[in-house]
Amino acid sequence: MNLQTQTALANTQKMLIQLELDSPANEPYLTYSRREILAILQNVIDRRCLITLYFNQGDDHVVTTLLHLNPEFEELVFDGAMREDLNAKVVQSRRMTFVSFVDQIKIQFHSQLAEMTVYEGKPALRIRVPDSVMRLQRRDAFRVNTPKAGPLYCEIKTPESGISRFMVSDLSVGGIGVIAGPAATEFKPGAVFDNCRIELPGHGSFTTSLEIRHGTGFANDGQGNPRYHYGCQFLNLGGPVVNLIQRYINQLERTRRALA
């Protein structure tokens, strides 16, 4: 699959893949071991995982695949585009970031330079094998969409309107996404709400504090009033509640696999 035919897919994936910043907080997830780096990259190749490539100072992105790893020449080859102008932009970039997922584990690495090459008779690009690779497996990274049949709800107490009930759009052991209707007060990032109650059908309920991390308006109600999606982080969840959420997520995944 070449880059040109995958650009449309990249437009969708860009909203789903968030780049991990170069930060001391991410140092524990970096590996500098050459053996581990080669094993990770070869696994991405063998699994034929899609990779989102950000280039041109992060303004452009495409979806590609790794094609070949040649440790002897410090060479990593990835799929090229049929359009010369797109390849030229990649080659002209002085920093590229590659992001992929293997079994829900985020793989990310950087490169400074790329150059054109040919692989199995087709245009391709190559970079040097990276000096480090991030392998990020946070326990709260796996997020599932909640079922439309039997949806989840979260009760949040606000100073303006008392207890309000919001639909939960997605769930992980680290937090939830909620949908707020047009009548709801717009929440600000950083706002914290205590004693929020969430019911997990068939598993019970729990109470927690929530911090609003981000919010986006995404739809209208037909009268020009916006609806909002808020990403919320759980604060200070106890072990039993984490286990409860994980059991519920596991059940959702088993059900979805059975219906697939």
The pair of structure tokens assigned to 89 is 């932009």
Which percentage of the chain shows pLDDT scores above 90? 33
* CATH T-level topology, domain 3-136: Pnp Oxidase; Chain A (2.30.110)
Predicted local distance difference test score (pLDDT) of residue 104: 66
Angstrom distance (rounded) from CA 5 to CA 238: 46
Other residues' Cβ atoms within 10 Å of the Cβ of residue 60: 15
Yes or no: say if 129 and 110 are a contact pair by the CB < 8 Å rule: no
What residues does 10 pair with on adjacent strands?
A: none
pLDDT at 182: 62
pLDDT score recorded for residue 250? 83
Q: Name the residue among 58, 116, 55, 105 with its Cα closest to residue 82.
A: 116
Residue type, 230: Y
Enter the pTM of the model. 0.52
Three-state DSSP class for residue 84: helix
* Token representation of residue 137: 């497996």
pLDDT, averaged across the chain? 82
Question: Helix or strand or coil: residue 35?
Answer: helix
pLDDT digits (tens, 9 = 90+) for 160-185: 778 889 999 888 888 998 988 765 56
Confidence of residue 146 (pLDDT cuts 50, 70, 90): confident
Residue position matching structure tokens 């860009």: 14
Mean pLDDT, residues 204-231: 78
Q: What does the alpha-carbon distance between residue 141 and residue 143 come to, in Å, rounded to a whole number? A: 6
Q: Contact 173/140 with Cβ under 8 angstroms? A: yes
What's residue 173's pLDDT? 85
**Other Cβ atoms closer than 10 A to 239:** 7
Q: Given the structure tokens 């970096």, which residue do they identify?
A: 30
70 against 102, higher pLDDT: 70
Structure token digits, residue 6: 């995958």
pLDDT(219) > 70: no
Q: Render pLDDT for 15-74 as a digit per residue (tens, 0 to 9).
A: 345 677 777 777 878 889 999 999 999 999 998 888 888 888 777 888 889 999 999 999
What local confidence, expressed as pLDDT, does residue 137 receive? 62
DSSP string, 172-184: -SSEEEEEE-TTS
Q: Give the residue extent of every domain in the chain.
A: 3-136, 144-259
- Closest to 58 in 3D by CA, of 6, 94, 26: 94
212 or 137, higher pLDDT: 212
Question: What residues are paired with 101 via a beta bridge?
Answer: 106
The pLDDT value recorded for residue 60 is 81
Distance, CA of 13 to CA of 234 (rounded, Å): 25
76 phi-psi bin (left φ>0, alpha ψ -120 to 50, beta other) = beta
Predicted pLDDT of residue 189 = 84
Topology of domain 144-259 in CATH is Thrombin, subunit H (2.40.10)
For position 20, what pLDDT does the model report? 75
